[in-house]
């Protein structure tokens, strides 16, 4: 699964990568985005124009009676996303890109779970395959847009740490994923596979990231020389 990630890059580089213009006041850079909080996403309108949007992390289906279901839908499994009632409508009609600069996974150790930060070696931004949905609160009539991150099997970098990872799309696939005319699952599911491990690396970080209220660039600094441990040499 993917339970924490970072979105900190801003400016022309981010705009150019995603083909959209970000209002700098939309969301500040963040290093520890947790379920239930706001995240930055890229959506496309029917004409294909891309825009940035803020969505709540944890997809709330339009038919849900209350928003609490969102805490159980932060991730959608690639193997079942096209059929599962919570996600199938969004998979066909409301796909999005979720920009990221890195994500966290936890490895079980003798002293507890150790968080690792996984990022591109060149530190370029990338995108998770996401879905979004609009839910209307039956009590207040207020509309809420929310999102989920699709997950798949871990690649060779992540597998020593965790058996699952987010679906990370190549830039060449962004247009396909956002294309509103693509509604047939068989044209989309081939994208939902582990990404090439070559551009990626993982390293241990401070356990302060376990606390959702913690934030800041210090959270993604290497915590120790643990990256040299034998079980992670495959990720280097």
- What is the rounded distance in angstroms from the CA atom of residue 65 to the CA atom of residue 76? 20
How confident is the model over 49-73, as a mean pLDDT? 94
pTM over 0.85: yes
Place of tokens 């396909």: 176
Q: Which of 13, 83, 105, 214 is catalytic?
A: 105
Span 120-131, average pLDDT: 98
- Facing residues of 120 across strands? 200
pLDDT at position 11? 84
CA distance 6 to 227: 20
Q: Is the pLDDT of residue 76 over 50?
A: yes
Active site residue 105: yes
Please state, rounded to an integer, the average pLDDT across all residues of the chain.
Answer: 92
Domain extents in the chain: 4-235
Q: Is 231 a catalytic residue?
A: no
Percent of the residues in the chain that have a pLDDT greater than 90, as a whole number: 82
CATH superfamily of 4-235: SOS response associated peptidase-like (3.90.1680.10)
Whole-angstrom distance, CA of residue 35 vs CA of residue 82: 22
Catalytic-labelled residue, pool 2, 96, 133, 195: 2
Angle among Cα 54, 59, 25 to the nearest 5 degrees reads: 10
């Amino acid at each position: 699964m993917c339970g924490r990630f970072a979105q900190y890059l801003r400016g022309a580089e981010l705009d150019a990568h995603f083909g959209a213009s970000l209002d700098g006041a939309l969301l500040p850079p963040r290093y520890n985005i947790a379920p239930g909080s706001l995240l930055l996403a890229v959506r496309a309108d029917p004409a294909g124009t891309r825009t940035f949007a803020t969505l709540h992390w944890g997809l709330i289906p339009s038919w849900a009676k209350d928003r609490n279901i969102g805490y159980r839908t932060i991730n959608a499994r690639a193997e079942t996303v096209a059929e599962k009632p919570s996600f199938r409508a969004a998979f066909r009609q409301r796909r999005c890109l979720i920009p990221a600069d890195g994500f966290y996974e936890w490895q079980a150790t003798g002293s507890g779970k150790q968080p690792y930060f996984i990022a591109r070696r060149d530190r370029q931004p990338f995108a998770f395959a996401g879905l979004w949905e609009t839910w209307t609160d039956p009590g207040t009539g207020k509309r809420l847009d929310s999102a989920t991150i699709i997950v798949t099997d871990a690649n060779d970098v992540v597998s020593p740490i965790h058996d699952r990872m987010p679906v990370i799309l190549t830039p060449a696939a962004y247009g396909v994923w956002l294309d509103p005319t693509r509604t047939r699952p068989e044209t989309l599911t081939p994208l939902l596979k582990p990404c090439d491990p070559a551009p990626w690396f993982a390293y241990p970080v401070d356990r302060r990231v376990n606390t959702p209220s913690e934030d800041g660039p210090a959270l993604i600094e290497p915590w120790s020389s643990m990256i040299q441990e034998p079980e992670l040499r495959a990720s280097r």
